[in-house]
Structures are given as C-alpha cells and as structure tokens.
Amino acid sequence: MDCILCGEAIESVDHLFSACKMAALVWNKLSEWAKIPPIFAFSFRDLVSIHNGDGVVRKAKDIVRGLIMVVYWCIWKAKNANFFSNGKGCSEEIFGEVKALGFLWLKCRSKHKNIVWRDWCISPLYML
C-alpha cells in the first residue's frame, strides 16, 4: 500500500517516520523551532537517538526526546486521519499539533510547570 501521507512509496515504519516528504517537513520545522541541528534520519531507529546528538545541549535532551515522541504520535494520528476519515493533513497542521501537545506534555509532566504558551511558541527550550 502506498504511503497515505505522500503517496510516493510503499508505507513502512521507516518510510512513514523518516522518508515521507510530510514527515521530513515536520522534522525540519522541529529542528528550526527548537534550534537544534537539522534532523536527517534514514530509519525509525535513527530518530530514536536524535536527542543524544552533539548539537543538543545536555539540559535540553529530555525536552527534545519528548518532542520527538510527540512528533511520532502526531504523524501517526495524521496518517490514520487520512486513511480512516479522508483527511487532508499538511505539515503545518501536524506541526501545530506537535507544539500544542508538546506544551501540554511539558507543563503537566515535568518540572517546567510555569512555562508560558507565548514563549513556548517562539522556542521550546526558552526556559533553559
């Protein structure tokens, strides 16, 4: 079956999360927003360890790892929405959801309880 997000390749875990054009746009937006080195991955396994890269400040590793998990979830949800509901998700919508869910995750599940949405939207690592 072709990828439901890009229609350009056979869907697999590696394709969906690393090779799909839609996913690549989301990863690019994440790296720009978080001010971390560009995310290049050839497989799902590559993405799992991105937060340990040289360009990620030690204090930011947990936040970056959490955001990567949120991206996984948002890409998976977009794929299912397109498949089951004939959705027309785009990278901007997926990334908007990454920002919102990432904010809620961090505010509710970390020591950063006082984060501010306005500042978060500018940079998810502003509090470090």
Which residues, at least 6 apart from 34, have a Cβ–Cβ distance to it below 8 Å? 60, 63, 64, 67, 123, 124, 125
What pLDDT shows up at residue 54? 61
Which of 114, 33, 116 minimizes the C-alpha distance to 70?
Answer: 33
d(CA 111, CA 94): 26
What pLDDT shows up at residue 49? 78
What pLDDT shows up at residue 15? 94
Residue 58, both tokens? 């030690």
The domain segmentation of the chain, as residue ranges, is: 13-122
Which residues, at least 6 apart from 10, have a Cβ–Cβ distance to it below 8 Å? 1, 2, 3
What pLDDT shows up at residue 56? 66
Q: Tens-of-pLDDT digits for all 128 residues of the chain?
A: 789 999 889 999 999 999 999 999 999 999 999 998 888 888 888 888 776 766 667 778 889 889 999 999 999 999 998 888 876 678 999 999 999 999 999 999 888 889 999 999 999 999 88
What pLDDT shows up at residue 39? 86
Q: E-strand spans in 1-128?
A: none
